[in-house]
Amino acid sequence: MRESFRWFGPPDRITLPEIVQTGATGIVTALHEIPYGVVWTKEAIAERQALVREASGERLEWTVVESLPVHEAIKLASGGGDELETLYENYRISLKNLAACGISTVCYNFMPLLDWTRTELAHPLAGGGTSLRFNMQDFAAFDVYMLERPGAEADFSADVLQRAKAWIDASRPEDRERLLAAIMAGLPGAYERYDVPGLRAVLARYEGITKDDIRANYKRFLEAVVPTAEEAGVRLCVHPDDPPRPVFGLPRVVSNEDDIAFILDAVPSLANGLTLCSGSLGAGPANDVVAIARRFAEKIHFAHLRNVAKDADGSFEEANHLDGDTDMVALLRVLLGEERRRRAEGRADFEMPMRPDHGHELLADLGRGTHPGYPLIGRMRGLAELRGAIRAIETLDRAA
């Protein structure tokens, strides 16, 4: 597997020379400064490629785009046919420009509004350090009592609602501000923030939109861009919802095995694939991540490897990469087996890029102010654990 590391571009507090020291050789990044729906030019792509090479002493290569964003108007199918066609065309041009620059793996998501959702960005760990965490009672407190979303109570159990009420009654203004900030960190690119009235306003745009509506809009998007990706040799790979459940009443359409099957069947093509995120899918109690990987192995073009530990009420916490509720060794066996199959087919692109996803803040990570979930040492630890597991699997398989 191609060991990769996510980098958020020049503003990232983690530097490319530091990433070199992790042992990764691939960089996963995006042109985050370009507004959604605007074409990524060949010049801008090449400039970022050159920066990655030069700053890393030619030891790193930009190999995966994460993400080429899908404009909210596409998810909503709003703005009229002309605006949508312009957005589709801009996306197609960006795909062709990436391919022309030699980048062929493009991760994206179709999550309405929020890319991911957590309620704690620095949950203290027993042995020291911090992790990301999603507390169901805190989320319910925000949704029901701070956001005051109509009908929100129906999305939570009586026990969760009781604990949410106790939390809101005991909370101080700074507790509520901290909760708002944690939830806002999941907005695309983590660069935009709303206060509570602002969040209500943007959520209103989705009023009356159902899961079937989002699916139909998604299928229209795939029909518009997958043929171009196929022609250009680009592998599109959708990232699952995080968490894999409706959030603030927003429909989610990439949450489970049935959703993935719908997407991949909507426009059958090797260019229409999956980013296997073991943490996002693993947060769903009904999801068997290993079985999902086995079923869709041929269409997995990129892997985010992380683990979560779930609670009975739907809460979950980022675990160590080899711990948590997903059998990471079994999952790696599936992915490595798919690589062997592709190599046997004679495919030049048999090697699957992967990156250690998220990580605990440890040691010098603490207080550094890196992107939530993306510290240096915690991810390097995860990469080292994954590297060791992969080496052990490969050694055992050769001896068998």
Residues 18 and 377: beta-carbon distance below 8 Å: no
Q: Report which of 276, 270, 170 is spatially closest to residue 230, judged by C-alpha positions.
A: 270
Residues 61 and 102: beta-carbon distance below 8 Å: no
Instruction: List the structure tokens of 90.
Output: 């801009």
Q: Please give the C-alpha separations between residue 269 and each of 67, 145, 272, 281, 395, in angstroms, as whole numbers.
A: 20, 45, 5, 23, 34
Q: Report which of 66, 205, 203 is spatially closest to residue 146, judged by C-alpha positions.
A: 203
Distance (Å, rounded) from C-alpha 331 to C-alpha 364?
A: 31
The HSE-up count of residue 266 (CA atoms within 13 Å, CB side) is: 23
Q: At what angle do helices 81-100 and 42-55 cross, to 10 degrees?
A: 40
Active site residues: 239, 277, 304, 357-358, 374
Distance (Å, rounded) from C-alpha 323 to C-alpha 329?
A: 10
